[in-house]
Amino acid sequence: MGRTLLLASAAMGLLCATATPVMAGTTADLLKRLHEKGILSDEEFQELSKSENAEVATAPATPPASAAAAALDDKRIVRMSESGVGMEVAGVTIKLSGSVNGFYVHDNGEAPNATNAVVGGVATVGGNSSAIRNGLLPGFLKFDVTTNQGGWDVGAHFGMYPGINSVSYTGGGANSPGNPRGLQTAGIDFRQTYLTFGRAGFGEVKIGRDIGLFASEQILNDITLLSSGTPAGNVAPSNTTLGRIGVGYIYTDFQPQITYTTPNFSGFTASIGIFEPLSSLTGPEEANKEPGFQGKLVYDGKFGDIATRFWAAGIRQKHDVIAGPDYTGWGWDAGAKVTVGPLTMVGTYYDASGLGTTALNLFDTDGLGNKRDSHGFYLQGLATFGKVSVGGSYGESNLDYANGVDAIANPTLVDKNSSWVGQLRYGLTSWVTLLSEYVHTRSEAHNGNRARSDAIAAGAILFF
C-alpha cells in the first residue's frame, strides 16, 4: 500500500510539472502508460484507476465560457448607485437620502403689555422659554426611484418630513401647534409625492406635490435653513421654527402642481407650472375656479473665479370670493447669489399684492376681499475657512393696509417684521455640521406697537 501511495504521488507530481493545464482524462492516460511500462502492477493500476474515477465523478463540472457569460443576466446584477446611498438593479436606480437635526433654543421675549401687541407679529411675546426642537427644517427621508424607458428618464419621488416635537394635530395637521406633554406623537409631514419624465433636449415634466416656484430660491439660499432663525412658538414647539420666513420672504410651501422645466441653455433654465388654487387663510370663504400659475427663471454662470446664480420668479392666482368682491393675488421675487473665494453673498427682494405675509394668503385682504400689498428683502453673507463658517443676515417683511377702513378696523395689524441673525458653523464630518446662532427679532404694528425678542440656538444637522 505504501508503494501505491508513493507511485500515486509521483504520478501527480508529473501532472503538476506539465506546462499545459490538466484536462479531464489526463490522469487516466498517465496511469495506463505506467501500467504498460511495468511500473504499476495490475493490482496497483486497478486501485489507482478506481480512485481517479471516483474523483472525476464527484468533481463539479466547469461550464464553458459562453454558458458562464449567459448566466450573468444583467437583470440580476446589483450595482452601487453613482451617488448617495442606494443601488442600481436591472437598470433601475433606487436612492435614499435624508436629514436629521436638533437644537437647544432659548427664546427671551417680552412680557405681554398694551404696547407690544402685534397681529401677525413673529417676535415672541410671553417671556422666556427653552426647548429642544427642530430648526427651520424638520427631519426628512426621501426615496427616489429612477430609470430610462424608451429614451425617457422617468422617476418616482417620495419625501417624508418628520419632526422631533409632539404636535396637537389641530389647525394645521402634521404642522399644527406643539403639544409638549407625555404620551404624544411627532408630526410626519408627507410633503413630496411626485413623478418626473424628461429627456435630453426636451427638459422635464413634474406632476405631483413638491416645493413651489415663487420664493423657493429665497428659502433654499437662506443660511437659517440649516439652523433655527426666529423660533416662534418656543414654549410649545411644532415641527419647525420660522427661520427667515416672514422676516425676509413669504414661505414657498409644498403644493400640488404640473410643472415643466426647460433644458439648460448656456446657463439658463426656466420653469412654469399650474398649481392647486389656495384659498385665503384669513379672508372670506372662496370657491376658486382657476388654477394658480407660477414661473421661475434661473441663470448659473461663472466669470473667472466668481460664481453666480441669478433668479426671478412670479405667482398669480384669481380668488373667487363667495360673498364679496373677487380679487387676483400676484407677486414676484428676484435675487442673486455671488461667491468670491471664501465669501458667499445673497440678496433678495419680493413684491406682492393680495398675497399677504409670512405664508401664502395670510393677511392677504382686509376680510372683505380688498387686497393688501406687501414687500420685503434680506441681505446675507457667509465666509468659509476650512471647516469653519461665519455668517450673518438682515431681513424684513412689510405689509400695507388695504384702505383707510382697514386702518381703522385693524390698528394693531403688523406693519413690519424684521430680524438680525449671526451664525457660526463647524463641519464635524462630511455628514454632520455643528451650528450656533443668535437671532434678534422685531415686530411693529401700524399703530406704533412694538415687540422684540432675542434667541440663541445650538445644535447639529446631518445630511446623507
β-pair type (268-275, 78-80)? unpaired
Spatial separation of the C-alpha atoms in residues 418 and 388, rounded to whole Å: 27
Of 85-89, 104-108, 404-408, least confident by mean pLDDT is 85-89
Confidence of residue 4 (pLDDT cuts 50, 70, 90): very low
Residue 218 carries which side chain, given as an amino acid letter? Q
pLDDT of residue 300: 98
Give the span between the Cα atoms of 23 and 162, in whole angstroms.
Answer: 64
Confidence of residue 69 (pLDDT cuts 50, 70, 90): very low
The rounded percent of the chain whose pLDDT value lies above 90 is 76
Q: Which three cell numbers stand for residue 208?
A: 405631483
Instruction: Please tell me the predicted confidence (pLDDT) of residue 64.
Output: 52
Q: At what angle do helices 42-58 and 26-36 cross, to 10 degrees?
A: 180
Q: Which residues contact 414 (CB under 8 A, 6 or more apart)?
A: 118, 119, 120, 121, 357, 363, 399, 443, 444, 445, 446
pLDDT value for 299: 98
Instruction: Dump pLDDT digits (tens) for 47-62.
Output: 666 654 554 444 455 4
What DSSP letter does each residue of 103-158 carry, written as one string?
EEEEEEEBPP-TTS--BT--S-BS-EEEEEE--SS--EEEEEEEEEETTEEEEEEE
Percent of the chain with pLDDT over 70: 82
pLDDT of residue 3: 46
Rounded average pLDDT over 240-252: 98
- Return mean pLDDT, the chain: 88
Q: Give the list of residues 6+ apart from residue 309 with CB closer than 8 angstroms, or none.
A: 221, 298, 299, 300, 336, 337
Examine the pLDDT at 68 and tell me if it is beyond 70: no
Q: Please report, for the chain, the start and end positions of each structural domain, with discontinuous segments joined by +.
A: 2-63, 77-463
Read off the pLDDT band of 16 (50, 70, 90): very low
For the stretch 342-362, pLDDT in tens is 999 999 999 999 999 999 999
Of 63-72, 103-112, 191-200, 323-332, the least confident: 63-72
* Distance in Å from the first CA to the final CA of the chain: 68
pLDDT band at 9 (very low <50, low <70, confident <90, very high): very low
Q: Which residues pair with 332 in a beta bridge?
A: 314, 351
Task: Supply the pLDDT for residue 267.
Answer: 97
CATH of domain 77-463: 2.40.160.10
